Structure 1
């Protein structure tokens, strides 16, 4: 399944770049003590920027590593007898979750990826050296949504990565960039995406050619230019490829935006992941089947400790809600059935809330994150943070 996105317009076209993987920025954090901040995740430095720039016109994303035949089909399309792909680079691409939001992360080769990120980003040498040295570059606009700890580290799927640079927008649909070594440790499918510059050809025309070449039934197609600038492309499948533990619980989540903030997940995904089961205290709930064992274990422990009255069944607001976070085009973990809201009236967003802290500790023990810990609190909200075995 592939997601195909249109991004920006080219700045300068030259022949194909070598397949690769990385991110962008204009503000570096304090310099690392060594040449490489994380030698265990360092790759070869990219060298000086040579001035080559491409437009980030299309992004093609698959759930798995793209084969040579798939790459050839995608990058070999022609428009009026001429090449439709002027330059491309391969990367690894997926999503991670933080504070009930999904963020897009790319693992790249700094040298091959930087020409697609715009002139300011591409020329910012320190940023690319930091990515090569094992650090992450994050969009500066996401400082509040992706908070770091006191030492400047961002936690992605329980892995701490030092933020080496806060960047201006580069490639549409990419919030954070790391190198390929980090991509492997984060569980990103290796080289499952291709970033494309279409040169003088229309990205929309090239997109249609790629759709025809790879088959719409096999590949989920999305338009990142529309996502970034005008809301989602309605009636078109989008792809989510989570990293780490969520890859097991979500797999590849395909959905269509249907207006009004709602989405329609692929029915096959719903059948294979969403179940109705009876759990302690709450009765029958509809959630992701991978979360059910931990949810039951947490609620059983609440009962065992005599705290069942601390969770009000009549104030439970549900688990599986296939829709966007209000006012955005970002999916919450409710879309996957991996979150639930408890004791809603006394635990509104932005408040301390009255959730019993022993109940909170039990849920944390069983692998849940609590919204009351977030920078902008949501104390009614619990979401799956990691998969643990109740057995």
Structure 2
């Protein structure tokens, strides 16, 4: 959202900004007031590199970076998000940030991010490892001024957009599971950057194996974001980086003028790789044909017959269905009620991807296993799927008992 639009919204929310973000637990200690903020060009990895001892009183000293210090009021709009599958070189960064439009500088301010995606209960969420002191400048007045939120991120916790409170289940102690890591949620934030659902600091970025500094968040000042994007695409290569106009995301949840890049974190990186797709309207997406050719296959499996799924999942799917068949439970799965595995589209009624987009999930016995119900899925069948590395939607907070998805890699041997 542009800075002018943020300013207009801030007038409507004046007087409540300081209390807008909701902290999950009581602060663990007073912030270090002496830590200086870095400039807007800072690489988030520098914060981690400069840490020798964790600040006193932080929630997670192992993952803490220096606290950002008090906010000085300097803010920028979040106009463009540029993402690469790998670290953006200094040379390319200079090209990107040096573009001009009609003789005027196109990039007024920027900050570097480590950016990727994680999956919880089949929904895909965007996460960024940031320099808290600089990233806050792009998040809008309410979030930027809320000092405890940024101290929490620096102290090793995660800040999550408050619109996701119902979508991201936490354990009883307020921890969010991302792959095989548990991160304490320090803040549900009403402000933020469109297209980024959660932020952590650079140490957590390394722990989650996010590609280092593979994204740039850009403010174009008074210059049109679309004009700047066209200049960047021409200078840096249109197919090299995905560049999302965040004002388009804010208005309708989609930027139909560009492809999007998904860089998964954790154990599914090999199965998904770098997933590029273009929104094509009507809830549909068009994945990169090269990705489809490399990852999606049609094969015959026990009980169900011919299915189209991610090739990395096929060995485990065949093993699970084979064991179900040899256990005399084949009649518990109804081939005529199989609803598919690979279908490249957004989750119904949203602009979020699911694991079906990657061919890593399948829906079985649909009529008797609707969302929000206990379902009729045979529990021995469920146990066999779990043995072979699948998660079951019947275990979720909002149940989806027809749904099985790859949760971990298991070799059939």
Compute the TM-score of the two structures, normalised by the length of structure 1.
Answer: 0.92
RMSD: 1.7
Decide whether the 8 Å contact of 2:225 with 2:245 is kept in 1. no
2:45 aligns with none
The match for 2:32 is none
CA distance in 2: counterparts of 1:29 and 1:317, whole angstroms: 39
2:372 and 2:399 in contact (8 A); partners too:
yes
Change (3 A) 1:117 1:234: closer
* 2-structure distance, mates of 1:233, 1:203: 12
Q: Any residues of structure 2 matched to 1:172-187 within 5 Å, and which?
A: 172-187=194-209
Cα deviations by residue, 1:308-356 (Å, 9 ceiling, x for unpaired) = 2111122111101111111111111111101000111110111110001
2:114 to 69, 92, 96: 92
Partner of 2:145: 123
CA distance in 2, matches of 1:259, 1:198: 27
- The size of the alignment, in residue pairs, is 374
Distance in 2, matches of 1:227 and 1:110, equals: 23
Aligned to 2:2: 8
Shift of 1:156: 0.8
1:141-290 equivalences under 5 Å are: 141-234=163-256, 236-290=258-312
Show the counterpart of 1:359: 381
Provide the TM-score with structure 2 as the length reference: 0.87
Residue 367 of structure 2: SS of its match in structure 1?
A: coil
Partner of residue 29 from structure 1, selected from 6, 24, 31: 24
CA, structure 1 residues 115+255, in 2 after alignment: closer, same or farther (shift >3 Å)?
same
Q: Which runs of 5+ in 2 are unaligned?
A: 8-18, 30-56
Alpha carbons 1:25, 1:127 under 8 Å: kept: no
CA distance in 1, matches of 2:216, 2:399: 37
Contact 1:25 1:137 in 2 (8 A): no
Give distance in 1, aligned partners of 2:75 and 2:243: 26
Is the CA contact 1:222–1:236 (under 8 Å) kept in the aligned structure 2? yes
Which residue does the alignment assign to 1:300?
Answer: 322
After superposition, the C-alpha distances for 1:143-178 in whole angstroms (9 at most, x for unaligned) are 110011111001111211000011013111111110
For structure 1, which runs of at least 5 residues remain unmatched after alignment?
Answer: 1-6, 13-23
Residue 242 of structure 2 aligns to a residue whose secondary structure is coil
Q: Does 1:335 align with 2:357?
A: yes
Cα distance in structure 2, aligned partners of 1:361 and 1:316: 19
Aligned-pair CA distance for 1:33? 4.7
CA drift of 1:84 comes to 1.1
Q: CA deviation at 1:36?
A: 1.5
| Deviation per residue, 1:70-128 (Å, 9 max, x gap) | 11111011122221111111011111111121111111111121111111111111111
Structure-2 separation of matches of 1:117 and 1:59: 13
> Contact (CA 8 Å) 2:84, 2:240: kept in 1 or not?
no
Are positions 1:375 and 2:397 aligned together? yes
| 1:35-86, Cα deviation, whole Å (9 max, x unpaired) | 1211111111111111111111111111111111111111011122221111
